Chain A
């Protein structure tokens, strides 16, 4: 294999260009780009259409940064006050969401004969809707002002908060050694999460002022530096880098947060796309046909359970039948976070990667379509 710099540039260029085409195609058809990025990754990977050599190192590091940036941006969307009030007001809907959407994945994993942890990972993948896809969907369909929209977003907020507890626990079990050490790791991780949420509540504003700068360049470097260091530290204490980044996002508020969204967005877009490609590379495309049917059935089931979740949650807020169906269908899409969770277990259970890839392919495409046409499913 030719390892000249030119090979790196050519390979990276080819990948980014392929992603550009995928993104254009997705826009044209009106679906999210995530499934197409995944397909691109599958095509480039081992056993796929073209082999990558020189670019693998970059893609691996880029994927790691992609996860961190996705979670950082997610954290920036919410303030700690928002998280707390949402949790207080809508805990029942959040619980219903968990009870309906986690077990299907868990049980499927167990039935397939995977170990408990891999099954728990699949449960996480079926539980969490894609905030990215859903938020974009609501904006594209001009439903931001709709009465059911806060219900949809509240459920997403609670899911994201649940991720902040789920990821460190799973990561602790995944990388922990003996049982006792694992329990200690998990407890330590949870204490760290609570401590940071406390800091966010009380010192978030002054810390944000400290980090803020009028120069977008300075702000970008400051935030990226802080986030990578915190993510690295979090990873070191087995808290999972992603959660570290999410918590940094929560701590930042006000002007620093809104400016940060602007300067980080292009970076996030690039590296998140790299992450989806990386996941596609990790998955052996040969395994997909074997799991596609089961993944399809699970996708159909968990599309149903999300619709029920939304139907009930919106009903509690006094929303009419059409709005209730819109709430349910908006939640169907799974995407980036299902993949983040799936990526944790690829090394452990090869089928898990292929399964999650197929599952996300189904629901990242079906979810937006269902949401778009949900109004025509109910008579006026």
Chain B
């Protein structure tokens, strides 16, 4: 798995860098303003940017899509950087979960736990910001956002066997 090194840039934003298998260092600077810089580092001097391309938030997202990224993942990872104490978990919905197959509104997850289901992912099928009618299909993955405790509470509901172990 590719690992990004995250470095805060005081007053500006955050920089992520990685070294590719072909041994080139590339990085992205995410400014507080939403601006993105795509950076390719110099072969001879790996500390220096050989090229730095300024992208708007929208252009960055479009480029990310082309490169095979998922908008949701990017959006969510964005969130964790801005809000302390917020946890995001991908929880697979068990077949034997008490709420399996029922609609989100009926499951009353937010009322019971305080955490929100912000997306449902079923294979290639992604439902961002699901409504009350969307079902908690067994086998699908729910993206849950909340405090550590509330997300754990959701895990107990959606994946009782995983959370018991």
**Residues of chain A contacted by B9 (CB below 8 angstroms):** 144, 149-150, 153
A150 near B10 (CB under 8 angstroms)?
Answer: yes
Which single member of A82, A145, A319, A326 contacts B37 (CB below 8 Å)?
A145
> What distance in Å separates the Cβ of A33 from its nearest Cβ neighbour in chain B?
21
**Residues of chain B contacted by A78 (CB below 8 angstroms):** 10-11
**Residues of chain A contacted by B24 (CB below 8 angstroms):** none
Provide the bound-state CA to CA distance between A156 and B9, in Å. 12
**Residues of chain B contacted by A258 (CB below 8 angstroms):** 32-33
A142 near B52 (CB under 8 angstroms)?
Answer: yes
**Residues of chain B contacted by A85 (CB below 8 angstroms):** 8
Q: Which A residues, 312 to 370, have Cβ-Cβ distances below 8 Å to chain B?
A: 319-320, 322-323, 326
A129 within 8 A of B: no
Number of A residues, CB within 8 Å of B: 27
Provide the bound-state CA to CA distance between A124 and B48, in Å. 31
Q: Given contacts A145-B52, A258-B32, are A320 and B47 in contact (CB under 8 A)?
A: yes
**Residues of chain B contacted by A148 (CB below 8 angstroms):** 47
Q: Given contacts A144-B52, A150-B7, are A322 and B12 in contact (CB under 8 A)?
A: no
A145 near B29 (CB under 8 angstroms)?
Answer: yes
> What distance in Å separates the Cβ of B7 from its nearest Cβ neighbour in chain A?
5
A319 near B47 (CB under 8 angstroms)?
Answer: yes
Provide the bound-state CA to CA distance between A12 and B107, in Å. 69
A82 near B15 (CB under 8 angstroms)?
Answer: no
A146 within 8 A of B: yes
B39 within 8 A of A: yes
Provide the bound-state CA to CA distance between A149 and B52, in Å. 14
> What distance in Å separates the Cβ of B126 from its nearest Cβ neighbour in chain A?
29
Q: Is the interface of B mostly helix, strand, loop or mixed?
A: strand
B29 near A153 (CB under 8 angstroms)?
Answer: no
**Residues of chain B contacted by A322 (CB below 8 angstroms):** 45, 47-48
Provide the bound-state CA to CA distance between A150 and B6, in Å. 11
B27 within 8 A of A: yes
Q: Which of B33, B39, B45, B49 has the most CB of A within 10 A?
A: B45
A154 within 8 A of B: yes
> What distance in Å separates the Cβ of B24 from its nearest Cβ neighbour in chain A?
14
**Residues of chain A contacted by B17 (CB below 8 angstroms):** 147
B64 within 8 A of A: no
Provide the bound-state CA to CA distance between A326 and B46, in Å. 13
Which single member of B10, B44, B49 contacts A146 (CB below 8 Å)?
B49
B15 near A145 (CB under 8 angstroms)?
Answer: yes
> What distance in Å separates the Cβ of B30 from its nearest Cβ neighbour in chain A?
11
> What distance in Å separates the Cβ of B16 from its nearest Cβ neighbour in chain A?
10
Which single member of B8, B27, B37, B48 contacts A375 (CB below 8 Å)?
B48
A36 within 8 A of B: no
Interface string of B10-35 (1 = CB under 8 A from A): 11100101000000000101001100
A157 within 8 A of B: yes
B45 near A320 (CB under 8 angstroms)?
Answer: yes
Would you list 22 pairs from A and B whose C-beta atoms are within 8 A, ordered by A residue? A82-B8, A135-B11, A142-B49, A143-B49, A144-B9, A144-B29, A145-B27, A145-B52, A146-B48, A147-B48, A149-B15, A150-B10, A153-B9, A153-B11, A154-B10, A157-B10, A258-B32, A319-B47, A320-B46, A326-B47, A326-B48, A380-B44
